[in-house]
Amino acid sequence: MSDLATLEQRAKTELAGCNIEAALRAWNTKYFGKTGEVLAALKAIGSVPHEQRKAYGQDANRIKETLTRAYEDRLAVLKERALNASLTANPLDVTLPGRPVQRGRLHVATQIMRQIYSVFADMGFQVYRTREVEDDLTNFELLNMPPHHPARDMWDTFHTTTPGVILRTHTSPGQIHVMRECCPDPIRVILPGMCYRYEAITTRSEIQFQQVEGLVIGAHVTMADLKGTITAFARRLFGQERQVRIRSSYFPFTEPSIEVDIDWPKDDPNADRLTKGTGWLEIMGAGMVHPVVLRNGGYDPVKFSGFAFGMGLQRITMLKYAIDDIRQFWGNDLRFLRQF
């Protein structure tokens, strides 16, 4: 009996000294584990002399219950203490607003591309996509530029390891693809896409840029239709106040050929630098489809005529927002991109 009293006292003192949960669990194993002292005391009931057995048994069971309750109480105290400690160490301010989720947006070039689609869709144009990797034949020869034609100098490009396979220098080879697919039906399409040129990068010229080609083929298509279409497009995209200038030019695949400029915003301090002092920036080349090209596309130039244009998407976007450097488009600087 005195052993039981000692056991109870010792267990209680040790329990009071347990200040962390791990120590408490070790205490529990020591007294209540398979070989624990409390279980040993209970097992010993059978070997106690008969006359003391009842009192011993009652006492052993009472100690078991007292210590179990004391253990549970101590565990609850330690858990609460640990919770309070973690709350004060890492205070959680539930009133703090959550971090805003970053929202993506369309690149400014894509936004303008979609505006261009919508302007031409209203004029009855369909979008036709063609390849970026072209053969020399379609990029040059079928557009009336045989090998060694001096006009090829205007469009130096990147070559693949397969001879005659290049990255297209303009969207004009798409004219051949769409004509061959649609012939002899009339055509009214735009062909958007990436172009590549091996040339010096400047504030107005990149080695990679997007163009939107236009092609209209029909029985009585005239230069007046081309002029009307381009002017209507420019008014819709830039507003009534901006000016459109049409100059005569030369392309091997159109005859006659023109180039189209838009006036740079007058109040922009970079106007002189970007327009080389002229006040204008060129946005496209255009003209009446050359009879050789019509024939290469399968159309009889006696019965059909057509116009084509190829505009630079980055130049158009620069003009719209007075962007002073074309390199911003692929620079991936979020400070630039977030403005649109």
- Residues lying near ligand FA5 in the complex (CB under 6 A): 170, 172, 197, 199, 205-206, 209, 211, 213, 251, 254, 257, 282-287, 308-312, 314-315, 326
Q: 142-145, long-range: CB within 8 Å, 24+ apart, which pairs?
A: 142/173, 142/176, 142/293, 142/296, 142/297, 143/172, 143/173, 143/175, 143/176, 143/252, 143/253, 143/293, 143/296, 144/252, 144/253, 144/290, 144/292, 144/293, 144/296, 145/252, 145/253
Specify the residue, 8 or 213, whose C-beta has the smaller distance to ligand FA5.
Answer: 213
Tokens of 165: 């396979």
**8 A C-beta contact, residue 159 and residue 125:** no
**Rounded to the nearest whole angstrom, what is the least distance from the CB of residue 165 to ligand FA5 in the complex?**
19
**Contact predicate 222/304, CB 8 Å:** no
Tokens coding 111: 């936004």
Residue nearest to ligand FA5 (CB): 312
Nearer to ligand FA5, 108 or 311 (CB): 311
Question: Which CB sits closer to ligand FA5, 32 or 280?
Answer: 280
- Rounded-to-integer distance, Cα 334 and Cα 30, Å: 63
From 113, 118, 119, 130, select the one nearest 230 (Cα to Cα).
119
- Closer Cβ to ligand FA5, 275 or 314, answer by number: 314
Q: How far is the CB of 179 from ligand FA5 (least distance, A)?
A: 13
* Min separation Cβ 263 and ligand FA5, Å: 15
Instruction: Report the b/e string of 75-112 with b at 16+ CB within 10 A.
Output: eeebeeeeeeeeeeeeeeeeeeeeeeeeeeeeebbeeb
Q: Least distance in Å: CB of 241 to ligand FA5?
A: 21
Q: How far is the CB of 213 from ligand FA5 (least distance, A)?
A: 6
Residue 74 vs 197, nearer CB to ligand FA5: 197
State in angstroms the smallest separation of the CB of 99 from ligand FA5: 39
Residue nearer to ligand FA5 on the CB measure, 71 or 209: 209
Q: Cβ 285 to ligand FA5, closest distance in Å?
A: 3
Is there a contact between 258 and 230 (Cβ–Cβ < 8 Å)?
A: no
187-196 and 280-289: which strand pairing? unpaired
Locate 216 and state its tokens. 């209209």
Decide whether 111 or 208 has the Cβ nearer to ligand FA5: 208
